[in-house]
Amino acid sequence: MVYYKAIEDLEPDEENIADQLEDIKESIKFLVETAMNLLPRGHIKDRATAYWYYHIITMLDDNNEIYARQAGKISDTIEELRENGY
């Protein structure tokens, strides 16, 4: 898998942890949207949207089409890292 290989070889950079996590978050968003675009319209896509898509996308950040506000999102962790100099 191309995306897995890119992350597999990732070397943590303690000076840029927040930036690395931001890149991973954006990659997850891209992959989730790509997966959703593969699904046919109808019951299968509706169920995926209501369950796994909703949970994944709302835990990444507040910039999503669902507009759910969740505590403990990956974007919250990124913000905390930046506030602490990472």
Tens digit of pLDDT for each residue in 33-47? 999 999 999 999 999
End-to-end CA distance of the chain: 29
Structure confidence at residue 72 (pLDDT) = 84
Tell whether 46 is covered by a domain.
yes
Tell whether 38 is covered by a domain.
yes
Tell whether 86 is covered by a domain.
yes
Tell whether 21 is covered by a domain.
no
Over the stretch 61-75, which tens digit does the pLDDT of each residue have? 886 666 666 678 999
Tell whether 72 is covered by a domain.
yes
Q: Half-sphere exposure of 74 toward its Cβ, with a 13 Å CA cutoff?
A: 21
Q: Quote the domain boundaries for residue 77.
A: 31-86
Tell whether 73 is covered by a domain.
yes
Apex CA 1: angle with CA 75 and CA 73, to 5°?
Answer: 10
Least Cα distance to 7 among 35, 27, 34 occurs for 27
The tally of domains found in the chain comes to 1
Please give the Cα distance from 9 to 14 (Å, whole number): 16
